[in-house]
Amino acid sequence: MDFFQSQENARKRTMLLVALFVVAVILIMVGVYATFTVVAAFMAEETRPAAATGPAVSLWSPGRALFTAAVVLGVVGFSAMGKIAQFSRGGGAAVAESMGARRIDPATRDPQERRFFNVVEEMAIASGLPVPAVYVLDKETGINGFAAGNRPDDAAVALTRGALESLDRDELQGVVAHEFSHILNGDMRMNIRLAGVLFGLLVLSIIGNGLLRAAFRGSLYRGMARRGGGRGNNGGMLVIAFVGIALFLLGLIGQFFGRLIQAAISRQREFLADAAAVQFTRNPQGISGALQRIGAGSRRGKVEDSQAETAAHFFFANAMHVRFNGLLATHPPLPKRIRAVDPSWNGKFEPRKKRAAPAPEPKERAKAAATGRPGSAGLFRQGGSTQEKIASGVALAAFLQAIGKVSPEAVTRARELIAGLPEALREAVHEPEGAQATAAALLLSDDAGVRSKQVALLRKAFSDAFALRVTRLFPHTFALADTGRMPVLELCLPALKQSADASDAFVDRMRELADADGKLHLFECLILAVLEARLRATKGLRESTARLDGPAAAAVLSGFARIEAPDEAAAKAIFTKIMGERGLSSMVFSPPEDNAALERALVKLRGLGPGDRKEFLSAAACIVWHNGEVSSAEGEWLRALAAVLECPVPSMAEQ
């Protein structure tokens, strides 16, 4: 499915969710209005004269209706919005931590956690998504997991300890691929809204339960007072008890409708995510095996945490006991899911032997990946400049079609990239200071004079030891092919986010590093924009709205044209021609004055809507392909630009 269409479909599902929520709230209003009417009649009957005739309270009262609407909207609406705001501010981390999950250190030495983290990194690089935060639910022994977040930049992927212990690598990869499908298809934001809706509908039950407890305690107190000679009237307690029971039952009705909403929206998406996992890995046995293990296990996918009920739709499998014969199940039955991806399944949930982990890759294969020999991913430079390697026949349609898609080949290449990294670089990207040093090494110049100036800046801004570490990493980052630099930067980001409080100062130092030679460098600006955008998302900051025909878009496209052309006149001609062909003739050629201006424009583009992002990337690709050819460096510029815009383009994609 087209990535941008998937985002639009996710928005439509959110609209459906809102519509169903409104219907549920209206039904609750009717029930609360009836409760208030009964209470009003009871209180009026207690106080009116005995000789009075007729109903004590009219069945319809505009004032009572307005009061009911205010109470229900205030309680349910604000509770739902509060929960949505809580999860939206904290992203996937807030959802994971609300269920007691523990964040895995990127540098973990635990074999199970390391394997899980590696699989997540491979899938992120293969899909072009940011590497999400990785969590484990240590206390959960069932096999389950989820992906959560407000957007790809703040996503989190979590698995239960039971999943880490029970699944082999292929099955683990199948589950992770399933969760990445939810990230790519825009399901996460809708899931957060659904969690808020469910919490809002559940609040009435919580309030009703509290009133019942208060009435019970009040009755005990008054009973003790009477036995002690005091006098009391339990009429008020009866009213409180009645209201408590009514709200508790209405809350259950609201919860029932919430579960129906949850089931209606979730089930079909699970089939789609299972199919996507097979497409990503080309291995139906992975996802099928994981589902079979859940069916054969004594605990299935059950999650004990109390928050799991509200967040059941996040999970890979049913996290709760299924009631009403599956009517309220958030996921399709396991047999249906298994047969959809593995028609050869015999229909029996039998204990599966856990396959031994594959032997480590031979040194020859890792060496091939590092040197770029045939059969490898070609991750490192060989011979001359990458600028001389021209890949002909790369079409605009192929580039756009790659967005949001994951191929088995991309997954294999991502795995080879990680396996082929030098040990010093592979270790550095997983801890905060090492990740900072790697990011700095990516910005070092190949000119010895400029690099000497940059190292002096590092000594002044950080320390001699830090500058030395950067210079030791530089040969490894310099040896990376153009298609390897962005993936390595993405591998650094989880560790960089651990020191988010110092991120502003760090990005400022990186700007100084990039500006050391006073020249405009597109890729350096793209690296800085990715750092700024990713770390900005960590702090929960929002981007201002941007327009396709606005100054930021014009500045970036003009900058691309200027780098593609020998002089400014030729760049303007390229820009004017392509903007005219794209129906954007109102855009004015306005190249940025310096690196800082280009970076600011890049970050502002994150405010573009989904449709405008697609059109913008199309225009940028047309500029790069204006001469019918593209170098590997130019292809990576486009991938980095897509990363800034949160449009996932797989690394080293077959384009």
For the annotated catalytic residues, the residue numbers are 179
Report the SS3 class of residue 416: helix
Report the SS3 class of residue 393: coil
Of 161, 250, 269, nearest to 204 by C-alpha is 250
The contacts of residue 496 (CB under 8 Å, 6+ apart) are 432, 435, 436, 439, 503, 506, 531, 534, 535
AA identity, residue 533:
A
How many angstroms separate the CA atoms of 280 and 406, rounded? 5
3-state helix/strand/coil string of 347-366: CCCCCCCCCCCCCCCCHHHH
Kindly report the length of the chain.
Answer: 655
Both tokens of residue 452? 């000497």
Per the CB < 8 A criterion, the answer to whether 605 and 645 are in contact is yes
3-state helix/strand/coil string of 569-623: HHHHHHHHHHHHHCCCCCCCCCCCCCHHHHHHHHHHHHHCCHHHHHHHHHHHHHH
How many angstroms separate the CA atoms of 3 and 388, rounded? 32
Residue the block writes with tokens 């980095």: 640
AA identity, residue 148:
A
The contacts of residue 440 (CB under 8 Å, 6+ apart) are 458, 470, 509, 510, 513
How many angstroms separate the CA atoms of 305 and 382, rounded? 53
Of 193, 175, 174, 653, nearest to 404 by C-alpha is 653
The contacts of residue 139 (CB under 8 Å, 6+ apart) are 100, 161, 304, 305
Both tokens of residue 584? 């954007």
Report the SS3 class of residue 272: helix
Both tokens of residue 292? 């079979």
AA identity, residue 502:
A
Q: What is the DSSP string of 464-501?
A: HHHHHHHHHHHHHHHHB-HHHHHHHHHHHHHHHHTTGG
Per the CB < 8 A criterion, the answer to whether 553 and 608 are in contact is yes
Of 369, 477, 373, 372, nearest to 419 by C-alpha is 369
Per the CB < 8 A criterion, the answer to whether 596 and 528 are in contact is no
Both tokens of residue 400? 């756009």
